[in-house]
Amino acid sequence: MLINKGFKPKRRQSDTDRDRLPPGQYLTDDFPVLSLGPTPEVSKDKWKLRVWGLCEETSLSWENLMKLPASNITKDIHCVTKWSKYDTNWKGVWLDEIIRLANVDDTASFLIAHSADGYTTNIPIDDVTDKKALIAYEYDGEDIEAGHGGPVRLVVPHLYFWKSAKWLDGLEFVAEDQPGFWEERGYHNYGDPWLEQRYDTD
Amino acid sequence: MTQTKAESNWINATIKEIRYVSQTMLGIKAVFEESPFPAFEPGQHFDIRLTSENGYQAQRSYSAASASSQNEYLEFGIDVLPDGEVSGYLATLKPDDKFEIRGPIGRHFIWNPGNAKETILIGGGSGVVPLFSMIREYSAARVQDKLTFINSFRTVRDIPWQDELENLAQENQNLDLYTTITRESRVSERYHSGRINREILNKALEKYNLETAAVYICGSNSFVEAVSQSLLDLGAAFHNIKTERYG
Ligand SMILES: Cc1cc2nc3c(=O)[nH]c(=O)nc-3n(C[C@H](O)[C@H](O)[C@H](O)COP(=O)(O)OP(=O)(O)OC[C@H]3O[C@@H](n4cnc5c(N)ncnc54)[C@H](O)[C@@H]3O)c2cc1C
């Protein structure tokens, strides 16, 4: 490994940061935005979540979603572009609820999340069950801004944040893995920040 | 330090030339003496990693600025930020100094000659860097397709590689430039003033078919957001717009 003489951290890292920041990440107080194109306009009253694949096909409206039991989580999030943000607070419905509602089959081993802009991302089913993935509709007690994926986005905080699809409008349950948008374009298929699985050669 | 599989992907870049290409942007030309040249496509970026003597590491992404068909060197354009951890250190380096890179990364924000009859590139500040790679590649390929580069800077002295850009536009009548300056009130008539908005886009894109043109927008999030919304209002097709946001 190359040493860069005279290079020093600009901002002091506390001992907690050392355990809390995955390798190669730095802490930010902002909430940067990354997306592949313009922000699609999705209104609550037109929003629908389609659920299909290895399950009973169903569809949820905003009203339906509001009637499901809600949970609040406070989690650190990690973006593949290197920033991490501590203690982000989200309110929404656990994906487990949808899996139960739609009677998802045991043969389903991957979830493909679909977004209003045509984006997709693939996640193993074990990474979205047992309260690991939230269908979020509030950030920090407010509606999620369009830029950050509102009205409804997925939040899967233990994986790099591109897995947390913005403008969520579809959940597809499949038996075989299918790489999503970034996964087909050079990013890692799984995306564990602690193993620094950023790109497809990691 | 956590040892991850990613470790094997880093290669050493050696600085061949380092100089300011605008008031704040550092142009770094890097060569690869210990490994093959990392082939890339215009629009892609690389990660640069710095390691301190006591093992602290920082990584940041930087887009390629040079033409992809030219493999004598890989050029970066790095805006040196006040108190920026990585950009500030890079600004202290000299020729023959080394730093680690890996890449190329990303296969979405990519443009190659022949991809579209009409291409619209729009960048603000350091967001113009990947667009320079596209323009340089376009110029080297001598294709007949139309390309326009709409760019926005705070002051005239913030425009990087300015002479080269103007020469390229002069040599090629299919390459249009439209530069607007946001923080200086009196500028030469070669430039326009004010932020890129719907009126400016409408005027600059008169000769273009917005429904079919390929559009690439790069800059800060607020820049990308404002420009892409204006273009959609003017009739650009949602799925023809590719964006890259630097945060
Ligand atoms: C895909 C991609 C491509 C990119 N390509 C380019 C490119 O071609 N050229 C380019 O110039 N940039 C590019 N960037 C941005 C680049 O990766 C870096 O984010 C940028 O150079 C800043 O890094 P830095 O270490 O110099 O600054 P940092 O140390 O990260 O700081 C950034 C700014 O925030 C301030 N700051 C940070 N933390 C604090 C704090 N705790 N308190 C007070 N102030 C703070 C700093 O003073 C500085 O002004 C790209 C980004 C992405 C995601």
Q: Which residue of chain B is at minimal alpha-carbon distance from A198?
A: B6
Compute the average pLDDT of residues B174-191: 91
Mean pLDDT, range B235-242, rounded to an integer: 96
Check: CB of residue B88 under 8 Å from CB of residue A9. no
Among B126, B25, B121, B136, residue whose Cα is nearest residue B73: B136
> Looking at chain B, which residues constitute the CATH 3.40.50.80 domain(s)?
118-246
Q: Do A38 and B107 touch (CB under 8 A)?
A: no
**Which residues in chain A touch residue B109, judged by CB atoms under 8 angstroms apart?**
36
Q: Is A30 an 8 Å CB contact of chain B?
A: yes
Angle at B22 between CA B18 and CA B28, to 5 degrees: 20
Cα gap A150→A168, rounded to integer Å = 8
Pick the CATH number of B118-246 from 2.40.10.120, 2.160.10.10, 1.10.3720.10, 3.40.50.80: 3.40.50.80
Question: Among partner residues A3, A11, A35, which is closest to B51 by beta-carbon distance?
Answer: A3
Q: What is the mean pLDDT of residues B41-51?
A: 97
Mean of pLDDT values over B144-149:
96
CA angle B66, B193, B214 (to 5 degrees): 45
Q: Is the pLDDT of residue B119 over 70?
A: yes
Task: Give the pLDDT score at A61.
Answer: 98
Give the pLDDT confidence score for residue A1 in this predicted structure.
Answer: 83
Q: Which of A1, A3, A4 to mutate to test the interface with B (most CBs of B within 10 A)?
A: A4
ipTM given for this complex: 0.89
pLDDT at B240 over 70: yes
pLDDT, chain B, mean: 94
Instruction: Give me ligand 1 centre to Cα B29, in Å.
Output: 20
Count Cα neighbours of A181 within 13 Å in the Cβ-side half-sphere: 18
* Nearest Cα residue to atom 6 of ligand 1: B62
Beta strands in B164-240 (DSSP E): 175-181, 192-193, 214-219
Please check the confidence at residue B8 and state whether its pLDDT lies above 80. Answer: no
Residue B186 reports pLDDT greater than 90: no
Taking an 8 Å cut-off on Cβ atoms, the answer to whether B5 and A36 are in contact is no
Q: Is B231 helix (H, G, I), strand (E, B) or coil?
A: helix
- pLDDT band of residue B247 (cuts 50, 70, 90) is low
pLDDT for B177 beyond 50: yes
pLDDT at B98: 98
User: Where would I find the H helices in B46-197?
Assistant: 85-90, 129-141, 162-171
Reading the block at residue B63, the tokens are 């887009």
pLDDT at residue B3 tops 80 = no
CA B2 to centroid of ligand 1, rounded, Å = 24
pLDDT at B1 over 50: no
Confidence class for position B4, pLDDT limits 50, 70, 90: low
- CATH class, domain A2-195, is alpha beta
* Mean pLDDT per 10-residue segment, chain A (202 residues): 93 77 91 89 96 98 98 97 96 98 98 97 98 98 96 98 98 98 96 96 90
The CA distance from A164 to A156, in Å, is 5
Alpha carbon distance B78, B63 (integer Å): 9
Share of chain B above pLDDT 90, in %: 92
The boundaries of every CATH 2.40.30.10 domain in chain B are 5-105
Spatial CA neighbour of A189 closest among B126, A178, B195: A178
Superfamily of chain region B5-105 = Translation factors (2.40.30.10)
Every domain of chain A and the residues it spans: 2-195
User: In this structure, what DSSP letter does residue B137 have?
Assistant: H
